[in-house]
Amino acid sequence: MAANIALARRLAWSPGTGLREENEHGLPLLAADSWLVADGEVRALDRHRSRFARACAERGGLDPRTFDGFWADVVAALPRQGDWFPRVELVRGERPRLGLLLRPAPARGTRIRVLCWDGPDPRRHPRVKGPDLSALAEVRERAIRSGADDALLTTDDGVLTESTTSALLWWEGDDLCVPPPDLDVLPSVTAGLIVEHARELGVAVRHRRATPSRLDGRETWLVNALHGIRVVTEWVGAPVRAGAGQRAPQWRARLDALRRPLPW
């Protein structure tokens, strides 16, 4: 991971000069988005673009034509070989400024151990990716120190929402379940793809409010753009049994089939 950090490049963007090396670090994030680039292929890049464009308009009042120019330069700068996990950013300076963090992809996995976070929800902007990343990283680090890989956030009455890095999905019989839309969760691109494909296949998709006990013995996934689908294999510190990940391999293959080459 240290090697990946050393290889990362931070680029600032302006309409006149495009992307250039950035020396100023640590500016507050107004919005961000990230995705996996694997040998020049990306899954649902248009959806990441749309989500980030909305966040930039809401958080920075960015003009659509300015955003279009930025996005074209970002796509042109993405490597076509190797595995990368770029992050586009809108940061707060004297005025909102766009940039690109170009970084190698970290190791990816298919399994995950989770801790149910019993502290306060650290998010202040739960439906926008970016502003809360530092606070969420602190919660995740505390989960790691407890023997987990990530922390699941809950409402005040104990309903699971999402993890610090991923969307939550699970299976009840043949039904795919997701948290209801009235809960404060980030609109996940990867979860959206899975739900959309499930409906195309005739799989019933249910909105359910779930406490940890409801997921006892059930196949439970945490999903995001980097890892795709990870099966929850352990509920650290909770009397909840992890369900078998029988469906996950087939659904991973379906997600992989959605990758498309970047334009040259």
pLDDT, one tens digit per residue, over 242-253 is 999 999 999 999
Q: What is the mean pLDDT of residues 9-36?
A: 92
Same domain, 137 and 178: yes
Residue 6 binned pLDDT confidence (cut-offs 50, 70, 90): low
At 107 the pLDDT is 97
Alpha carbon dihedral 178, 182, 185, 190, in 10-degree steps, equals 40
At 3 the pLDDT is 42
Let me know if residue 264 belongs to a domain.
no
Same domain, 79 and 142: no
At 23 the pLDDT is 74
Q: Is the pLDDT of residue 7 over 90?
A: no
Q: What is the mean pLDDT of residues 53-81?
A: 96
Same domain, 149 and 194: yes
Mean pLDDT (the chain) is 96
Q: Is the pLDDT of residue 118 over 60?
A: yes
Same domain, 237 and 121: yes
Same domain, 98 and 127: no
Which pLDDT tens digit goes with each residue over 167-195? 999 999 999 999 999 999 999 999 999 99
Residue that terminates a domain, selected from 102, 125, 141: 102
Residue that terminates a domain, selected from 68, 102, 136: 102
Which pLDDT tens digit goes with each residue over 199-243? 999 999 999 999 999 999 999 999 999 999 999 999 999 999 999
Contacts of 9 (CB under 8 A, 6+ apart): 21, 101, 102, 103
Task: Report how far residue 235's alpha carbon sits from residue 59's, in angstroms, rounded to the nearest whole number.
Answer: 36
**Containing structural domain, residue 68:** 2-102
At 5 the pLDDT is 54
Let me know if residue 178 belongs to a domain.
yes
Pairing state of beta strands 175-178 and 205-207? parallel
Domain count for the chain:
2
Domain CATH code at residue 17: 3.30.470.10
Domain CATH code at residue 147: 3.20.10.10
Q: What is the mean pLDDT of residues 11-25?
A: 90
Please compute, for residue 143, the number of CA atoms within 13 A of its CA located in the half-sphere on the CB side: 27
At 188 the pLDDT is 99
Same domain, 115 and 37: no
Same domain, 205 and 90: no
Same domain, 62 and 123: no
Residue that terminates a domain, selected from 69, 84, 102: 102
Q: Is the pLDDT of residue 31 over 60?
A: yes
Same domain, 139 and 204: yes
